[in-house]
Amino acid sequence: MVVNRFNCSTLTMRKRVASRSGLFVPRKCLKRNRMSSREEEEKDRISELPDDILVHILSYMNCKEAARTSALSSRWKEMWMHTPTLDFDVMGDYMKLPSDFALIPGEATKYVDCVNRVLKLHKAKESITEFKVRFDIRKCHQGYIDGWVKFACSQQRLEKLDFSFLDARYYLHNEPETSVFPNPLTLSGGGFRSLKELCFKSINVNDDVLAYFVGNCQLLERLVVHYSHHLEHLQVTGPNLKLKHLELVWCDRLELVRVSDTNIVSIVFETCGDLQLHNVPSLVRVNFPRMTEPVESVLSRLSCCAFSQLEMLHLAVSHRLIQKMEMQEFPQLTKVKELLIYTEPQEDFSLIGLTSLLRASPNLQTFVLELSWFKPDRTRREWKEALESPLEHLKEVLVYGYHGCASEVELLAYIFRNSTALEKLTIDPQEKRDMPVPEYPHKMEELQAAKRVAKHYAETQLTEIAPEHVNLFIL
C-alpha cells in the first residue's frame, strides 16, 4: 500500500506558492497592520498579482506541484495549464520509497497516462520552453515516447529537453529494456531549432540522432548522454557550434569521440572508447571518472590543453595505480586550480602517490579527495616518505569518506607540511556518492554508527597535527 504523502491544506499551498515568489508575509508582520488572526490567514496577496507573474511563479514548480495549486481558488483552477515548463520529474519522491516500488505493476502506466493527460490539457503549447520526463520508462512504452518526441519537435521555443528513464537505483541498464529515441529526420515540426540543453539518460540514441542535434541545433550549449547502447561515434567540430558542455557516461559501444575546432568549455568522459581533442582553446574543465587508465594516459589525451589552459581536473584513479605514482613525475599543470580525485582504496593502501599530482599543480587552490573504502584498516604504521614540494597557493582541502586510516593521515600531514597558505580543511566521514537506503533501517543505523567512529578518529588524529592557522571542520 502506497501512502499519499502529498496532501496539504489550501493555506499551506498558498505559503508554498508564496515562497517561490518571495511574497509570503509572516503573521507577526501582518499584526502590525492590526489585522485579526482570521484576516491574516485569509489575506491573499498572491492572487492579486497579474496572470503573467503567477504563471512565471508556477514555472519554477514541477507539473505535480503546479497542478495542486488548482485547489486554491477558481482563479487558480487552470493557471498551471499555461506554464511554459513541463517538468514531470518525480523521481525525487520515489527515491524515498522502498527500492521495489517502481516494480509495482501499473505505476509506469499511471505515470505515462498522467503525462499524456497534461499534454492534452495544456493551453500554452506554442510557448513551451522546457520538457522533462524522468521515471521508470522502458521499451514497452515506446509508442508513448515517440508521441512525446513528436510533441517536443513541434515546440518552436523549446530550449530544454530531458528524457531520463530507467533510474540506476532500480535496474541494470541492459539493452532489451531500454527505449529508443526516434530519428528527428523522420519528424515534422520546428526541428528543435531553439534547443539549448539536451539530456538523454537510459534511452538509446544512435550516431545519426546525435549528429542531427549537434549539426542542426545551432544554439545547443549542453549535451548529456548516459547509458546509451547504440552510440558508437560522435563528432563535435566547427567554430560556429555553441556547445559548451559535453557529458558521456557509460555508453558501452562508444568507439570514438572527436572534438575539434570548437569553444567547448567542459567535458565529462566516463565511457569506453577514445577521446580525441584538437584545437579546443576554451576547454578548462575535464572530468574522467573512470579508474581503468593510468593518469599519464589521461594526460596524454589532454596534451593539447592540459598543460596550458586546464583549470579544473577531476580524475578517478584506482588504488593500485596510486601505489605506482609515488615517485612519478607528471608534466606541470600550471593553470589547474581545482583537483578532485576519486578512488576506492582497500584496507590501508597508501595514498601518498597522490602527492605526485599535487606537485604537478603549482597553482592549485582547492584539493578534493573522495574516498570509497573497502575493508578499511586502521592499524597504526609508519608514514611513507614523499618528495617535498611547496603548495604555495593551496587554500582549501575537502575529504569525503574519511575513516581514520594511516594512509589518510600521512597524506594530510604531507599537505600540512607543504601548504603555508592553507586556510580550511573539511572532513566528512560520509562518502560523497552514498545513496539513501530508507528501506533498510539497520543499514542506516550502521552507516551512522560508522560515521560516529570515523568522526572520533578524525578529531583525535587531525587536531594534533593540523597547524593553528588551519580551520578544521569535521562534519
What's the whole-number mean pLDDT along residues 377-398?
89
What's the whole-number mean pLDDT along residues 141-161?
91
Give 137: exposed, middle or buried? Use CB within 10 Å, 0-12, 13-18, 19+.
Answer: buried
What's the whole-number mean pLDDT along residues 36-45?
54
Using one digit for the tens of pLDDT, what is the confidence trace for 291-319? 677 888 888 888 877 678 999 999 999 88
Residue linked to cell 542542426: 216
User: In angstroms, how far is CA 326 from the centroid of its own chain?
Assistant: 32
- Burial code (b: 16+ CB inside 10 Å, e: under 16) for 285-322 equals bbbbbbbebebeebbebbebbbbebbbbbbbbbbbebb
Q: What is the pLDDT of residue 362?
A: 95
Q: What is the pLDDT of residue 66?
A: 58
Please, which pLDDT band fits residue 386 given cuts at 50, 70 and 90? confident
The most confident of 177-186, 239-248, 289-298, 438-447, by mean pLDDT: 239-248
DSSP annotation string for 301-346: HTTTTTTTT--EEEEE--HHHHHHTTT--PPP-TT--EEEEEE--B
The most confident of 36-40, 114-118, 171-175, by mean pLDDT: 114-118
* Paired sense of beta strands 274-278 and 312-316, if any: unpaired
Q: Is the pLDDT of residue 326 over 90?
A: no
Mean pLDDT over all residues of the chain? Answer: 80
The percent of residues in the chain predicted with pLDDT above 70, rounded, is 74
Cα(97)–Cα(89) distance, integer angstroms: 15
Using one digit for the tens of pLDDT, what is the confidence trace for 434-469? 554 444 455 677 788 888 998 999 999 999 899 999
Q: What is the pLDDT of residue 91?
A: 67
Q: Is the pLDDT of residue 345 over 70?
A: yes
Judged by average pLDDT, the poorest of 91-105, 181-195, 407-421 is 91-105
Q: Is the pLDDT of residue 72 over 70?
A: no
Q: Is the pLDDT of residue 217 over 70?
A: yes
Q: Is the pLDDT of residue 78 over 60?
A: no
Q: What is the pLDDT of residue 18?
A: 47
Using one digit for the tens of pLDDT, what is the confidence trace for 254-298? 999 999 999 999 999 987 788 999 999 999 999 998 767 788 888
* CB-CB contact of 42 with 16 (8 Å): no
Comparing 292 with 112, which gets the higher pLDDT? 112
What's the whole-number mean pLDDT along residues 134-159?
88
Q: What is the pLDDT of residue 5?
A: 34
The percent of residues in the chain predicted with pLDDT above 90, rounded, is 44
Inter-CA distances, 256 with 195, 221, 231, 252, Å: 25, 21, 10, 11
Q: What is the pLDDT of residue 324?
A: 87
Q: Is the pLDDT of residue 428 over 90?
A: yes
Please, which pLDDT band fits residue 48 given cuts at 50, 70 and 90? low
Q: Is the pLDDT of residue 121 over 50?
A: yes
Q: What is the pLDDT of residue 190?
A: 63
Q: What is the pLDDT of residue 2?
A: 34
Using one digit for the tens of pLDDT, what is the confidence trace for 407-425? 999 999 999 999 999 999 9
Q: Is the pLDDT of residue 100 over 60?
A: no
